[in-house]
Amino acid sequence: MKFYTKIPEGLKGYYQQELGFYQIALNNGDLLNAWKHLENAHILGQAYPKEHTKVHWLMLKFGFKIKNRKEIIGQIPRLVFGGIKSFVGKIPVGNTGGADVSALKPMEIPPHLKQILENYK
């Protein structure tokens, strides 16, 4: 069994870039794009416990910001178990991480993110 503990340095740059875009959009009040960048960061970082957990923390905070009860409640178990599932390599690949989709559902990875991820297999 392979344990995933550290995101590759190159991939980490793309992950951090998405979080930066999230923060810019959030600061500008562009909540739709802010969320999209959180989803992108989730897809890029979901195989790595620290990054996966951080995105779910930000998604939980976002849920509070927009006063979305479903998102808040949905993020709590994801926050608790997401990092553990990453550590043991049992993630639903491509899942966007929001409470609007099943936490166990694999999803199609958007082409621009798929290309990035293929470089770090």
pLDDT tens, position by position, 17-76: 999 999 999 999 999 999 999 999 999 999 999 999 999 999 999 999 999 999 999 999
- Residue 43: per-residue pLDDT: 98
Whether the CA torsion 104, 39, 59, 33 is positive or negative: it is: negative
Three-state DSSP at 103 gives coil
- What letter would DSSP give residue 6? S
